[in-house]
A and B are shown apart, each in its own frame.
Chain A
């Protein structure tokens, strides 16, 4: 009996004008476009410099900043209000003020003050921009110190240099960090929406009634919706592995088998969720809206963009009931760190619990008789 239902699901998917294309286009979109867009790396920060000192040092500093490649010098103003104007006009994001007597203070007293003003309407850009800028200025100070040390022949002032070693992603490449997590989003969207829409479209077409009047058990009917979804998820996932390797030269440090193993459970989780939503929805629109609402919530609270650990305690508690969080954690661990199944027992159990929960709910909320 199940065989006939699965056969029908596959025929319907293959003949659908849109879904077969989606299975291929979607992974390509997610892997080709999103990693470039979903990056926190800031480049081309627009910078205004107010140079009231007009000394060799101030010119050298300005040159050093511009040559770093992270900043684009928009204007050099002589007063701060003038520079502020360019922030207000959205010409620049940051203003660096070099006060009068910058060079003199540095030489005579060994210290001088600078001011950074940042346009925080775009918080990320201003935060990252000013920290880049501070780092360059620190570097400039180190340069000066060593020059002076050489000139005076005096004993060097003790300086602490920090040389961070970035494990698992040595170049702090954001794409390396995002790509595995984006695969999770891909699976979520594909395998969450497909079964939901498939059941609701049967409701809209009236065919579900013809099914409900047959002896097909609820469990079999739901299983027949899940199995094709599972396969689609695997195809899309494999495709994105290939694309990640091809484009970003990103290979999982751990085993692909571990990922497939987790993915097979995760697909059940999101598909089960989709089925639950569809059982309570009478129309496509309703199912779409409810799915969108929950998926956006899941995605924002998954640690995809912002680390779960830096969320407030109550938000962290909420992420505990977010299946995406566990799978994203697991994906990053396997892809970047090479973790094995044994290291991720907790995530595995959490996902398994979700899978059982949602699918049982889906079976019980599917009403053949009402």
Chain B
């Protein structure tokens, strides 16, 4: 089966600081891949490289079948991205934001309006069609960002801490949207530091200090560490890492 993402020894250095240290992994098409790690572990940097926002210092990889180094613009055509920071245009209405990004990704103009209506109906937000985005509550902003990121039916969608700062109910709704997208064959690459969310992923990787220290299904990881929850897995890894760095 064709992989959505394949990377080998991906590294990013800023001066003498190594933010991402030779990580290798792959993501299957339609998979929900959790990318976990503490703050500053290098999750966002890694994700920015995968999206073509940041050039890798070394290593290679392919996203959506295109080479990361040589074809970053081709990659951009086939991915969706939702940044950690809300970044739709606040002074445009909901439908205007959708229309803008749909147009940019080359969705035929005739299809934009009906697809917008369909999408808003699916997320239960028909009433917000003409609302200026800055007036939306955070939960809706997040859901809208996600909906815009997958509007053009990308092969992969990258979500950078998509549920930061929203209530549990909205988080739950958000994950329903993620499952929905995965069912339609869109691979989901999601960073989070909510460990309960890690349980929802098909596979998770845990990053510590720029390296991937663990990568497996949540079930296997828990077995491997002999614990009951992902939260404990995470703590184990963090502790082990602290011990080894002290030993050094």
Residues on A facing B (Cβ under 8 Å): 1, 3-5, 7-8, 11-12, 15-16, 205-207, 209-217, 368-370
Tier of interface size on chain B: 20 to 34
Q: Which of B40-79 contact A (CB under 8 A)?
A: 51-55, 72-73, 76-77, 79
The A/B interface has a contact count, at CB < 8 Å, of: 76
Q: Using Cβ atoms and an 8 Å threshold, which residues of chain A touch B79?
A: 213
**In the complex where A5-B104, A7-B100, A216-B104 touch, is A12 in contact with B91 (Cβ < 8 A)?**
yes
**In the complex where A8-B96, A12-B92 touch, is A209 in contact with B53 (Cβ < 8 A)?**
yes
Q: Which of B53, B81, B104 contacts A1 (CB 8 A)?
A: B104
Q: Using Cβ atoms and an 8 Å threshold, which residues of chain A touch B55?
A: 369-370
Residues of A contacting B: mostly: helix
Q: Using Cβ atoms and an 8 Å threshold, which residues of chain B touch A3?
A: 103
Contact A213 B85 (CB under 8 A): no
Q: Using Cβ atoms and an 8 Å threshold, which residues of chain A touch B104?
A: 1, 4-5, 211, 214-216
Cα–Cα, bound, A1→B73 (Å): 15
**In the complex where A7-B100, A8-B100, A370-B55 touch, is A205 in contact with B90 (Cβ < 8 A)?**
yes
Q: Which of B53, B91, B92, B105 contacts A215 (CB 8 A)?
A: B105
Q: Is B16 an interface residue (CB 8 A)?
A: no
* A3, A211, A217, most chain B CB atoms within 10 A: A211
Q: Using Cβ atoms and an 8 Å threshold, which residues of chain B touch A7?
A: 100
Q: Is B194 an interface residue (CB 8 A)?
A: no
Q: Which of B53, B85, B96 contacts A206 (CB 8 A)?
A: B85
Contact A11 B96 (CB under 8 A): yes
Contact B101 A212 (CB under 8 A): no
**In the complex where A1-B104, A4-B103 touch, is A210 in contact with B76 (Cβ < 8 A)?**
no
Say how far B62's CB is from chain A's closest CB, in angstroms. 16
Cα–Cα, bound, A209→B55 (Å): 14
Residues of B contacting A: mostly: loop
Question: Can you identify 14 A-B contacts, CB atoms within 8 angstroms?
Answer: A1-B106, A8-B89, A15-B91, A205-B90, A206-B86, A210-B81, A212-B53, A213-B53, A213-B79, A214-B104, A215-B76, A215-B105, A369-B55, A370-B55
Cα–Cα, bound, A138→B88 (Å): 73
Contact A369 B54 (CB under 8 A): yes
Q: Is B143 an interface residue (CB 8 A)?
A: no
Contact A213 B91 (CB under 8 A): no
Q: Is B99 an interface residue (CB 8 A)?
A: yes
* B53, B55, B81, B91, most chain A CB atoms within 10 A: B91
Q: Using Cβ atoms and an 8 Å threshold, which residues of chain B touch A16?
A: 91
Contact A213 B90 (CB under 8 A): no
Say how far A206's CB is from chain B's closest CB, in angstroms. 4
A221 (CB) vs chain B CBs: closest residue: B104
* B54, B73, B86, B106, most chain A CB atoms within 10 A: B73
Top 10 A-B pairs ranked by shortest CB distance? A4-B103, A213-B81, A206-B87, A210-B87, A215-B77, A206-B85, A215-B76, A214-B104, A207-B87, A8-B100
Contact B83 A209 (CB under 8 A): yes
**In the complex where A1-B103, A369-B52 touch, is A210 in contact with B83 (Cβ < 8 A)?**
yes
